[in-house]
Amino acid sequence: MAPSCRSCEQPKLQPILSLGKTPLANSLLTESELNVPEETYPLDLVFCGSCSLVQITEVVPPEKLFSEYLYFSSFSDAMVAHARNLTQRLIETRSLNSTSLVIEIASNDGYLLQHYQQSGVPVLGIEPATNIASVAIERGIDTLNEFFGEALARRLNGESRFADVIHAHNVMAHVADLNGFIHGINQVLKDEGVAVIEVPYVRDMIEGVEFDTIYHEHLCYFSLSSVASLVKRHSMHVTDVEHVPIHGGTLRIFIQKEGHGSVSSRVSDVLANEKTLEMDRLAYYSNFATRVEKLKAELVQLLESLKQAGKSIVVYGASAKGSTLLNYFGLGKDQLDYVVDRSTVKQGRYTPGTHLLIDSPERLLIDQPDYVLLLTWNFADEILAQQAEYRSRGGQFIIPIPTLRVVQ
């Protein structure tokens, strides 16, 4: 059990859900590793009654999680489009030009920064995964292969490398030292600059039973209230917020230094709504575990009845969220034949814990399985469109979250 809250350091964290001990969700296996015992770690979700931050208790060393990483953002058309739209908007609204600097923390393969660079805006990526940073550098994106924190922030500050815009998309949830992270942003942001932070919204997770977003990389699950409390500690404030649909529901939060930036009415609206829902109280989260168990019973029963009827079932998406669902629900080779994924770096490997072979989506048209369990349900529209031919031949998708349904 974590001794205290990662944000406000208050003790007495209250349990919400335990997913037992699971393997690391992105640790895909090679064939030679299949007979080697996998490391597993507790996956327990808790709530801080002081600052309302939802978090897991276990911290796996980041070097073990991120030094080599198999998630490349550019394999998702939706992610690239999401990035392009945002960057074009910020170039216009912030009047960015060749004298500006945009920094992205956890910049992946340059999927976002490339849009700035193509518009003539200087960029700097910070990416800890060596294999992914190398891809970004090959694409001409200036990238530091390092973890972002106070030490790197001090160095950039000392070099007078100050940013007009800092992006931190789907990274703050991975950070154990939240206070060091926000302090570091403060150190590298220009006085008039803005940091754009995207985090999966804990409200969507709870209300949509999105328990599969819980894995060891995701240490924290944020509300706007918990982020506002965190940044205030470091002389910063939330100036705007947007609720965007990507990843099953994301908060896009704009933070600036105190005394800079006018505050949108959306900020007070969201904070008031969270207060009305009592998201700052344990009761809001109390029936989450029961609803997860109900989903488990429904999905397992559906898959087993299909197998008994002689139907073939495969999986789409060798994702981290898929790993959480398969391992906690006890699904594997008894119900599922293999996994397909568009990412070529995942193909030929095996899923952690469940040891299902990962192949390319083209195999769906070769084998024409009866059903596909879609574990990357957050990209359902994109994937269903890509698989139009498989579906036209009678193939059906099972989408487990937010509500279990079969797409004819």
Could you read off the pLDDT of 309-345 as tens digits, one per residue?
999 999 999 999 999 999 999 999 999 999 999 989 8
Looking at the domain that runs over 288-407, which CATH code has it been given? Answer: 3.40.50.720
**Angle at alpha carbon of residue 8, lines to 218 and 287, rounded to 5°:** 55
Q: For residue 306, what pLDDT is reported?
A: 98
Q: What's the whole-model pTM score?
A: 0.89
Helix (H, G, I), strand (E, B) or coil at 11: coil
Does the pLDDT value for residue 71 go beyond 90? Answer: no
Domain boundaries, the chain: 65-285, 288-407
Answer whether residue 251 shows pLDDT above 90.
Answer: yes
Q: Report the C-alpha gap between 224 and 266 in whole angstroms.
A: 11
Residue 1, pLDDT score: 45
CB atoms within 10 A of CB 195: 24
For CA atoms 294, 22, 384, 30, give the dihedral sign. negative
Distances (CA, A) of 107 to 79, 111, 122: 13, 8, 14
Q: What is the pLDDT of residues 257-310, one digit of tens each?
A: 999 989 999 999 999 999 999 999 999 999 999 999 999 999 999 999 999 999
Q: What would the pLDDT profile of 222-245 be if each residue is shown by its tens digit?
A: 999 999 999 999 999 999 999 998
Higher pLDDT, 186 or 84: 186
Question: Residue 78, Cα to own-chain centre: how many angstroms?
Answer: 14
What is the enclosing helix (H) or strand (E) of 255? strand 250-257
Structure tokens at 242: 């947007």
Question: Between these two residues, 408 and 399, which has the higher pLDDT value?
Answer: 399
The per-residue pLDDT for 76 is: 59
Instruction: Give the Cα separation of 305 and 335 in Å (integer).
Output: 10
Cis preceding-peptide flag for 352 (omega within 30 of 0)? no
Mean pLDDT, the chain, integer: 93
Burial 45-68 (b: 16+ CB within 10 A, else e): bbbbebbbbbbbbeebebeebbee
User: How far, in Å, are 103, 138, 154, 312, 376 from residue 114 at the CA level?
Assistant: 12, 12, 26, 41, 25
Report the share of the chain in percent with pLDDT over 90: 85
pLDDT at 67 over 50: yes
At residue 84 the predicted structure's pLDDT band, cuts being 50, 70 and 90, is confident
CA angle 280, 204, 224 (to 5 degrees): 45
Strands 189-200 and 358-359: unpaired
* Cα-based angle 272, 278, 284 (whole degrees, multiple of 5): 145
pLDDT at 197 over 70: yes
Q: Residues 276, 269: contact at Cβ < 8 Å?
A: no
Domain 65-285 fold is Rossmann fold (3.40.50)
